[in-house]
Amino acid sequence: MRLAYQNQDSTKVETSLLLINELYAIEDYTKALLFIDQTSELSKTLNYEKGLAETNYIKALIFNNQNDQNNAVANFESARSYFMAIKDTLGIAKVNNNLGVIEIQRGNYKKGLQNSLSAISIFEEKDLKDDLSKAYNNLAEAYYNTNKLDKALQYNKKALSVREELDDLEGMKYSLKNLGLLYALKNDYRRSIDNYERMLTLLDPQEDQDIRGEIMPSLGKSYLAIEDTDKAADYLREGLRYSRRQKDDLGILKSLNAFGELNTKNRNLKLAENQLLEALKIARRLGNDEELLYNLKLNRDLDSRRGFYEDAFNWQNQYYELKEKLDKEKLAAIPVPDNSTEEAQIETPPLIESTKTEEPEKAVITSEKKQDILLVYGLIAGLVFITALLIFSYLKGSKDSKAAKTLTKSNKELSLKNLQLEEVNQVKDKLFSIVSHDLKDSISSIKAFLDLLKDGGISKDEFNDLIPELSENANNASSLLFNLLNWSKSQMQNLQPKPELFNIQEVFQIKMSLIEKKVNDKGIILIDESRREFVYADRSMLEIVIQNLITNAVKFTGKGDVITVSNQDYNGKVLICVEDTGIGISEENQKKLFNAKKNFTTIGTENEKGTGLGLTICKDLVELNNGRIWVESTPNIGSKFFIELPKAALSE
């Protein structure tokens, strides 16, 4: 009623603004907007720019709270124009700070920083601590999202300091959590722990359970990094228990990943495998690339420690492919200035784009990262070649040595040994020819692209197109070496099985997760009909066999084809089947599949290369475990590969 008794002058506008602010404070936005429209019209009639500035500002705040960012930005910019006209630097600063928040939320970090930086000097000068706290937090978030961790730390510390002065408990919790995360990213785990632990002391046992559950995995990871495994286990256990109770998939994912790392370090490898497999499924379902990247690294480390080098290499390929994608996304963020408020003067319209060109720097960074990837591939191929040569040299020496010892025996034994040695040498020579040719092709290809890159002979777009081919070359070389290593071990009779009872379904699940991306890329349907059943065999050997069979199925199928894995009880044994609806195998070629001397290999549906060694190794490994392997196939219909293995130890 105060407004009705006042004259239509600026005093009435000021009184109306007081009422509008009261309505905004109690979140009665409908009435507030009604009075804003009336007050704005009155201000226009009186040509009262301060009233127009304030009404547009509050209207923008309301739209922002209602998640109507477009209208919020339009009204903030209108308010800023009026504040600039009356030279109200504080009003400009408040508008810029709010615009900074919106631009940062939109991912426009450069604009967000410009706006927030322009506001801070005014807030500092006028000692407006609440506004300073928000501005510091905006800057910290923008710098974090543009990977400038030192700057993010600097402004999070400033925000924490102001929030401590204001006794802002919620703000302190938020800043301490951010500091814990940032110090962990900088590998300063003790400071990370200090901030997380301090945050825990501020939490309410009843009201802050969600926050506590959220930071438990992060705190556990930091303790794990400083080798305090007992505390790491305590925090991770609490975090996992809470997340499962709350059905918080992200919390479960983080806890399982960290637990997987802990159990790998403690050599609880079976437990680590189960935890990482569950985490992998959750990460892919949630589309959480950061945790998926961490999971791929942990799976690589786990399989490397177990001696499953082919699996480890597959995990590594997936890791670097995802890492490159994430690096590209980070580089796509607009670079932001590191300087202070001189970069965004208050009197200058702060949303004007900088004319400084950032592309050259971006191109250099991208090129350097990709060059590093190529160098890694080149080193891998080179090491593969050297290792292969050493294997053949050792194999030849070993066989010759055995043959020499046999010469002292009877002439009959000598003739037999010479015949065996001749057969082995024939196979070895054939394999050496294959290895030399395939590795030479891979290394020559990688070297050619490196030379082009060094001489500036390829563009950025052309280079991007070459990455999959280079990765495939490295994969082929690695696969060749892997198969060759296992074959050479079996030929030297050093490959002794260590049978145990294990669930075959778990092996299927792990191996299918490794080829999931390739299956999706080729448009293949993968069906898992496996069931829980125990096999008595050397698990690592059988994993090699299953990996080869599934990889072959993917190789010889195309879009719309189906791959099915299954197992069943058969005459008291376990019958494993990997079936596909691919191109099939002729009866003549089926006879060559398991014979190393024939060296039979064909090109896949997408011209994938093979070595001709995989199925030979599968046969050797299955037979070493008292089993048998065979194939049933019809051209253009598909193939079924069967493995029969015992369920228990054979009686002597």
Tell me whether residue 166 is exposed, middle or buried, using C-beta atoms within 10 angstroms of its C-beta: 0 to 12, 13 to 18, 19 or more.
middle
Q: Which tokens sit at 93?
A: 């600063």
Q: How far apart are CA 122 and CA 89, in angstroms?
A: 7
What pLDDT sits at residue 475?
A: 62
Residue 146 has pLDDT above 80, yes or no: no
Mean pLDDT of 562-587: 90
Question: Alpha carbon of 4 to those of 7, 12, 16, 34, 347: distances in Å?
Answer: 8, 9, 11, 16, 38
Burial 93-108 (b: 16+ CB within 10 A, else e): bbbbbbbbbbbbeeeb
CA separation for the pair 110, 142 (Å, rounded): 8
Separation CA 182–CA 192 (nearest Å):
7
For residue 535, pLDDT over 90 is answered with yes
Question: What is the model's pLDDT at position 566?
Answer: 93
Q: State phi, psi for 445 to the nearest 5 degrees.
A: -65, -50
Instruction: Look at residue 387 and tell me whether its pLDDT is greater than 60.
Output: no
Chain centre distance of CA 333: 18
Q: Name the residue with higher pLDDT: 40 or 478.
A: 40
Share of the chain above pLDDT 90, in %: 22
8 Å CB contact between 131 and 100: no
* Mean pLDDT of all residues belonging to the chain: 77
pLDDT in tens, 168-198: 998 899 999 999 999 998 889 999 999 999 9
Query: What's the pLDDT band for 513 if we cut at 50, 70, 90?
Result: confident
According to the 3-state scheme, what is the secondary structure of 346-378?
CCCCCCCCCCCCCHHHHHHHHHHHHHHHHHHHH
Residue type present at position 158? K
Terminal Cα-to-Cα distance of the chain (whole angstroms): 103
Beta bridge partners of 501: 536
Looking at the predicted structure, is the pLDDT value of residue 383 above 70?
A: no
Q: Tell me the per-residue pLDDT of 457-485, one tens digit each, with 9 for 90 and over.
A: 666 666 667 666 666 666 655 655 555 55
Q: Which of 20-34, 108-122, 352-366 has the highest mean pLDDT?
A: 20-34
Residue 58's nearest CA partner among 11, 10, 25 is 25
pLDDT band at 6 (very low <50, low <70, confident <90, very high): very low
Mean pLDDT of 332-360: 40
Q: What is the pLDDT of residue 629?
A: 93
pLDDT attached to residue 310: 67
CA dihedral 411, 412, 418, 419 (to 10 degrees): 150
Q: Higher model confidence: residue 517 or residue 423? A: 517
3-class SS string, 53-69: HHHHHHHHHHHHHCCCH
pLDDT at 642 exceeding the cut of 90:
yes
Regarding predicted confidence, which is higher, 403 or 546?
Answer: 546
Per-residue pLDDT reduced to its tens digit, 412-422: 555 555 555 55
Distance CA 200, CA 212 (A): 7
Average pLDDT, integer, range 4-26: 76
Of 87-101, 414-428, 542-556, 619-633, least confident by mean pLDDT is: 414-428
What integer pLDDT is reported at residue 308 of this predicted model? 79
Q: Residue 351 pLDDT > 80, yes or no?
A: no
- Between CA 246 and CA 248 the distance in angstroms is 5
- Cα–Cα distance, 76 to 99 (Å, whole number): 7
pLDDT (0 to 100) of residue 636: 86
What whole-number distance in Å separates Cα of residue 150 and Cα of residue 198?
Answer: 21
Give 87-139 pLDDT, tens digit per residue: 888 888 888 888 888 887 777 777 777 787 778 878 888 888 888 888 888 77
Give the helix ranges, DSSP H, for 226-344.
229-246, 249-265, 269-286, 289-306, 309-332
Q: Are 260 and 300 in contact (CB under 8 A)?
A: no
Read off the DSSP letter of residue 650.
P
Average pLDDT over residues 336-343: 42
The sheet carrying 573-580 orders its strands as 525-529, 562-570, 573-580, 638-646, 628-634
